[in-house]
Every structure is written in structure tokens, then in C-alpha cells.
Structure 1
Amino acid sequence: MTSSTTARLDRAAGVLLATAAGDALGVPYEFARPPAADELAEMTGGGLGGFAPGEWSDDTAMAVAIAEVAATGADLTTDDALDAIALGFLRWYDDGPADIGVQTSAVLGATRRNLGRPGGPGGGRPAEVMAAVAATYAVEHAHSAGNGALMRTAPVALAHLEDRDRLARAARLVARLTHADPLAGDACVLWSEAIRVAVVEGRIGVRAGLDLLPADRRAPWSGWLDAALAGPAAGFTPNGYTVTALQAAVAAVAGTPDADHRHLQDALHAAVRIGDDTDTVAAIAGGLLGARWGARAVPEAWRRAVHGWPGRDGDDLLALAARAVRGDRPGNATPGDQG
């Protein structure tokens, strides 16, 4: 295995681990007083869900549900893969998460009622039912472009590192399971492509996916990204909206000196300091930072501390990310791996 392949695998492994680290760092400060400029975030737990120290929240839990499907080698644009992801979301929902977004809860709850309990009566493909419920929710609610799809999109990139067009379709289809507003899908396309570029090329390019968006929405998103890159990060609150959540993550990443791997830690602390939906913003930022700097940039203490649904820890996330890149199919090597 070449050194470049090893580095790329490390960057891929960093995606889920840094997502979880950002999530767990942000949990104690969600909608509470964030750390001051001279303070570091700590994984003390608590937060809205009464989490244990180092425990991740819905952001990483839902990302894990996607990564588990990616790890089978599935094309995430297919009906079978989307059904599996939808069922993963429902499995998490059925387990009674300590904290769940209002929109996600409404969509998953209505989907469960329409499908019936596991093993009981119910009809329709799970992904079709869930996406239809999400579409109805969007029609009935003026503000349905929440950050709940963006927060979990990182593992979509791992499944499609070699095909950016398929990646864009997958990101939008997975987003639509719970968030039908086109802006939520756009945000997932942009962030998934930025993560793909970081893993494959070892650089941060948050504008790389603009050409993957519908032509009429490229200019608004370009302006929103310009504003985020200009900062300051503290300006992007509240950030429950998918646009401001993405802007907050971009501002934290771009506004932090990036001379070396310390950028990952420093930018995650900056993301939490923005305040408001701290675990989600830091989880979003973590996905990109991990893709750029790799798992080795995540402090060992953070790797040891993070854990959460469904009974996984930091080492499990590293293994899951590796399988998501390879796909658990006989003879399917990691992309670019020549042995």
C-alpha cells in the first residue's frame, strides 16, 4: 500500500470520528452558554438529552445509520439502499433517542405509524413512505429546511468517492427522506462533495460542489458561501436553518489557522463557540475537518471518549468508515488501493 493510499484511508477514517468528536464536544453547550474565546469545549455530557460524557447525539447516530448501509458496498441512490437507511433511522427512533429534532421526530413518527410496528402489518417501501411524509411536512410547514439532513450527510461521501455525480444524487435522495425542502438537499450536496474532495485530494474546497446544484440556485449559494468565508463565525446564529448551519461550519473551518493538523481541534472548538445548535454545527464541521486531516489528527483522548447509539465507540467508527470506503463485498478493494 502506498503512502498516498494510506493517507487517503486515514482521511476517510477521520470523517466519522471527527463528526462524533465535534458532536460530543458540542452536546454540553447546545442552546446554552457556549465556551468563551479563551475556553475550550469539553465532552462533559449533559445537554438537552442528558448525555453521558463523550456520548454523541442524533447527529452522529443518524450518520451511523447511513454508514452502516454504505459499509455493505451499496449504491446509495438505489431503492434498496434508501430503504435500508430509512429502516436504520426507524430503528434508532424506536430505541427512544434522548434528543431528536422536531422535524425529524415528526417525519419518523408518522412513518412508523404508516408502516406499523416492526414485524407487524404495514405497506409500502420504507423510503417511499418516509419521503412522502417528509414532502407533506414541507408543504404544511413554511420553515422545513432544517439542519437535520445536513448534520448526518458525511458518510454519503464515503460511499461515492469516485463518482461525484452519483454522490450528489445520493446526498439529495438521503436528505429527502426527512427533509424535502430543496435547500436542505443543496446543503447536503455541497457538504458531501466538499468531504469527497478533502478525502481524495487532501484539501478543503467548500465551493467545489456549486456546479452540482440546479443552475438557478448556484448564485444564492455562492453568495452564502462567500459570506461564510468572510466571517466572522459568531455571526451565523441562530443556525437551526440548513443555510446558516452550513455557513457556521464553513466559518469555523475557514476562520481558523490551518497550518497543520491542529486545525482540526482548533476549528472544532471555534465551531462550538459559535453557540446555538452547537453539537450539530461542530458535527458538520467535524466531517469536513476529519476528511482533510484524518483520524490521526483527532486527539486520542477524544477517540477513547466518544460513544453512542447503537452501542459503538470511536474505534468502531474507524472500522465502519473503512468498510464504507471499501464496501463489504468480496474482492472489492479500497478505491485507489493497488496493494
Structure 2
Amino acid sequence: MSARKIKEKLKAGIIVHLTADALGVPVEFKSREELKKDPVQKMRGYGTYYQPPGTWSDDSSLTLCLLESLINGYDLQDQADKFVSWLYDAYWTARGRTFDVGNSTRESISRLKAGQSPTRAGAGGERDNGNGALMRILPLAFYLLDADNEERFNKTKEVTSLTHSHPRSILGCYIYIDFAIRIIEGAELKNAYQETVEHLKDFIQDEAYKKELKYYKRILAGNIKYYNENEIKSTGYVVDTLEAAFWVLLNTDSYSYAVLKAVNLGEDTDTVAAVTGGLAGIHYGYSDIPAEWLRKLARLDEVLELIDEFSEKRLGS
């Protein structure tokens, strides 16, 4: 695949991630029942966090921090430094304010600020399996396109562990990265999903991760598409978020339909939508994004410049 085509997929993936995040921010924590009565159908504002329309959250800020860091190569300390700047100095925030920070993410980044090694700072307890690493991992898929499976897994483990070091979170991020790479390479969603399922069953042999596969059994059974909506949770738990993303993608046929469906599942609306949206953008492309949403999206020109810089230095386009 040409560098130009990969750049277009990167552009779509990142911008759709941000747009989906912004769609979810005003209604975060609303229940599914509430949103059935008043579903999100366009870019809103002034809801949960009283932010203007088009404001994205920590999901996108940390995604952009990672994307910017990877421009100059793979440097965990640089990634950590950018995360610290985000939390304490509002770096790469939508409108100069850091908000909606998860407890595990906050605690881990505070350890990074205090000088803890990037590979040892992440929260690693059983209760630290929120979606705070999954929500920001997408740029790594583009960086690892030419890497073998071992390198992909090891680097996913390290980048995840900046904030979330439990094997369940690492495994969830690896599933997402593997699936994303297959879509970037041109596989249809259904085929990419089945290929990821088969790969995981063969590749994961380390006992610490193998025993975590049971938590992803609904994804790895290969039939997540056929669950009823009331069987899909949309909480901040990494497994729930990943299940919801797969379920939405496999039950929709456009970017806008996918992200609105993800948002209207309720609960952790911004992150479920962002995680879903990044993949939907890669698959459906930039032209599918409604112009009205783009016009309202915070810092669009700066984000596009960042994408151009990454593409020039890492993709050769």
C-alpha cells in the first residue's frame, strides 16, 4: 500500500477519533435509557462538562501526545513527558483545560512526574483495568505497520504500561492494535475481526496473558456481532469498551452511523465512541465525516498539521 493511502487512513482515523470523542463528551454518564429518549444526532455542547461543541477530552489529548511523540521515533520517556505536560499544563487539550481524567491515569502520570520509570509507572492492580490506555493507543498501529508480531506486542505492552500495566489492559490494547493494522492494510471489517481472533489464539502463549484471554471470550468466540444490544455494556472497563467497539463496527455500515450508535449506548460515551471511531475512520475514510462536525471540531488545523508531520517523517508522504 502506498504511503499516500496510509496517510489518508491515518488522517481519517485520528480525526474521526477526535470527532467521536467530541460527540460523546456532552452526554458522558447518561444512561442508555436517557439517550433513547433524546439521542445524540449532531455535535452538541454544554453538557456534562459544560464545554462548547466540538470539544474533545483526555482520550484525544493523549492520542495526540502519542502521535506527536512518535514523529521522532519510539521514546517512552518522551511519551511520558508529554503525558505529564497534558495533565499538569493542559498540553494538547482542546481548549486549554484538562478534564475527565481517570483515577488510574492520574495516579500513573503523577508517578511519571515524580520520576518513576515509564515502564513501571502504570497502575497494575485488578481494579486498574479501565480504558485509559485503550483510548489513546491508535497512533501506535501506524508506527508498527512494518514490525513483526513480537515487536508489536512488546511495544504495545510498554506504551500501555505508561498508565495501565495489568495484563488485561495490555491484552486489550494489543487486540485493538492488531485489528487496526489489519484494517489499515485493507481487510474488510468482518475479515479483519476473524483474522485477529485466529491470531490471538495462536500468538498468546505467555501464561500471564493466556489466562487473561477468558475475559475477552465474547470477542474471541468470533460472534460478538450477534449479541443483542442489551448484552453489550458501555462502561469504562477495558473489556466492555472493546466489546462495544467491535459490536458497533460489525453492526453498522458508515462512520457516522457507527459513532452515533456508540455514543448512544450511554455511560462512557466519549471513550466508547472514540475507540470505535478511530477504527471506523480508518475503514470508511475522511470524506464520510459530516462537514458540520468538522467545522465545530476544536483545533482541527493544528491536528491536521500534526498528521502531516507524522506522515512526512514516519510514512514518507
Taking structure 1 as the reference length, the TM-score comes to 0.79
Q: How many Å apart are 1:323 and its aligned residue? A: 3.2
Cα distance change, pair 236–16 in 1 and its aligned pair in 2 (3 A)? same
Question: Larger deviation: 243-252 or 197-206?
Answer: 197-206
Q: CA contact under 8 A between 2:168 and 2:212: conserved in structure 1?
A: no
2: distance between equivalents of 1:83 and 1:29? 34
1: distance between equivalents of 2:161 and 2:83? 13
1: distance between equivalents of 2:176 and 2:155? 12
- What are the residue-to-residue correspondences of 1:67-106 with 2, within 5 Å? 67-72=67-72, 74=73, 76=74, 81-95=75-89, 97-106=98-107
2: distance between equivalents of 1:217 and 1:327? 39
Does the residue aligned with 2:36 lie in a helix, a strand or coil?
coil
Question: Larger deviation: 10-19 or 28-37?
Answer: 28-37
1: distance between equivalents of 2:3 and 2:313? 16
Q: CA contact under 8 A between 1:234 and 1:274: conserved in structure 2?
A: no
1: distance between equivalents of 2:308 and 2:37? 35
Alignment correspondent of 1:143 = 127
Deviations 1:194-217 (A, max 9, x none): 111111215322352524434625
Does the residue aligned with 2:109 lie in a helix, a strand or coil?
helix
Gaps of 5+ in 1: 116-125, 308-312, 335-339
Alignment correspondent of 1:120 = none
1:231 aligns with 2:227: yes
Alignment correspondent of 2:293 = 302
Alignment correspondent of 2:246 = 250
Q: How many Å apart are 1:110 and its aligned residue? A: 3.3
Cα distance change, pair 93–289 in 1 and its aligned pair in 2 (3 A)? same
1:333 aligns with 2:312: no
Alignment correspondent of 2:55 = 55
Deviations 1:224-247 (A, max 9, x none): 214532223443225211111100
- What are the residue-to-residue correspondences of 1:1-339 with 2, within 5 Å? 6-34=4-32, 35-36=35-36, 39-72=39-72, 74=73, 76=74, 81-95=75-89, 97-112=98-113, 114-115=114-115, 128=117, 130-134=118-122, 137-139=123-125, 142-165=126-149, 166-204=151-189, 205-207=192-194, 208=196, 210=200, 211-214=202-205, 216-217=210-211, 220=214, 223-225=217-219, 226=222, 228-256=224-252, 258=253, 263-307=254-298, 313-327=299-313, 333-334=316-317
Deviations 1:93-131 (A, max 9, x none): 11251221111112212332x23xxxxxxxxxx6x1x44
Moved runs in structure 1, 4+ residues, more than 6 A? none
Q: CA contact under 8 A between 1:13 and 1:318: conserved in structure 2?
A: yes
Identity of aligned residues (%): 26
Cα distance change, pair 36–175 in 1 and its aligned pair in 2 (3 A)? same
Alignment coverage as a number of residue pairs: 296
1: distance between equivalents of 2:106 and 2:306? 26
2: distance between equivalents of 1:325 and 1:187? 26
The Cα RMSD (Å) is 2.4
Deviations 1:5-43 (A, max 9, x none): 544432221111010011001111110145328844332
2: distance between equivalents of 1:37 and 1:271? 16
1: distance between equivalents of 2:238 and 2:203? 17
Deviations 1:238-283 (A, max 9, x none): 5211111100111111111x2xxxx111010110111110000000
Cα distance change, pair 232–244 in 1 and its aligned pair in 2 (3 A)? same
Cα distance change, pair 212–279 in 1 and its aligned pair in 2 (3 A)? farther
Cα distance change, pair 253–50 in 1 and its aligned pair in 2 (3 A)? same
2: distance between equivalents of 1:269 and 1:172? 30
